[in-house]
């Protein structure tokens, strides 16, 4: 299977959630067992042999890919969620939105005592990069290393990867121009 087949499996929904936006719907990708398997294999093959301790996934679609990858690699999974969604003591990182701020959190004991934990951050898509940047900073604030931020989709026109490169490497399987 090639990257074009993966790209072709992602449904484009025009003018959603507002006019001028092309929403990249991954439900068609994850609904195809062969393609979903291939995406996880691409990620797994990339990180095998790098002594990864944890995979962290950004709420909510990052949970789909991150949990599958952590299972495939035999490592723990760490959910990174919006503020107020985790039940135990958390650490948080704020990030700016177009009009205001938001916050991501993870449990204070997420790395379970593993010193200098090696973490791969996973999400379905990187656009402007605000949530991903906050997530990388959150991982680093816990004295862990974010080895790489991995995405199924990179919306190149929005340049989100540029926000992450001061903190970590960025990898994506498919790229689209535009919004």
pLDDT one-digit tens code per residue, 47-87: 999 999 999 999 999 999 999 999 999 999 999 999 999 99
| Spatial separation of the C-alpha atoms in residues 145 and 118, rounded to whole Å | 5
Helix H or strand E encompassing 48: none
Count Cβ atoms below 10 Å from residue 108 Cβ, excluding itself: 12
| Segments making up each domain of the chain, as ranges | 50-176
C-alpha distances in Å from residue 179, one per residue of 63, 66, 102, 140, 156? 23, 24, 21, 29, 8
Greatest alpha-carbon pair distance for the chain in Å reads: 47
- pLDDT attached to residue 179: 58
CATH of 50-176, picked from 3.30.70.1520, 3.40.1410.10, 3.40.50.2020, 1.10.10.10, is: 3.40.50.2020
pTM > 0.85: yes or no: yes
Q: Is the pLDDT of residue 14 over 70?
A: yes
| Predicted confidence (pLDDT) per residue in 78-120, tens digit | 999 999 999 999 999 999 876 788 999 999 999 998 999 999 9
Specify burial of residue 7 (Cβ count, 10 A radius: 0-12, 13-18, 19+): middle
| Bond into 60 cis (ω within 30) | yes
Place of tokens 């959603």: 16
| Spatial separation of the C-alpha atoms in residues 160 and 156, rounded to whole Å | 7
């Amino acid at each position: 299977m090639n990257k074009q087949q993966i790209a072709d499996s992602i449904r484009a929904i025009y003018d959603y959630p507002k006019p001028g936006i092309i929403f990249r719907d991954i439900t068609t990708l994850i609904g195809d067992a062969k393609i979903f398997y291939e995406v996880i294999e691409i990620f797994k093959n990339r990180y095998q042999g790098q002594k990864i301790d944890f995979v962290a996934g950004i709420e909510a679609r990052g949970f789909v890919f991150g949990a599958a990858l952590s299972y495939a690699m035999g490592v723990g999974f760490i959910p990174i969620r919006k503020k107020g969604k985790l039940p135990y003591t958390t650490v948080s990182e704020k990030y700016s939105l177009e009009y205001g701020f938001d916050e991501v959190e993870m449990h204070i004991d997420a790395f379970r005592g593993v010193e200098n934990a090696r973490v791969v951050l996973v999400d379905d898509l990187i656009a402007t990069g605000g949530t991903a940047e906050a997530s990388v900073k959150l991982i680093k604030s816990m004295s862990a290393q974010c080895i790489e931020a991995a995405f199924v989709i990179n919306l190149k026109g929005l340049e989100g990867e540029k926000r992450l490169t001061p903190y970590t490497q960025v990898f994506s399987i498919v790229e689209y121009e535009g919004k």
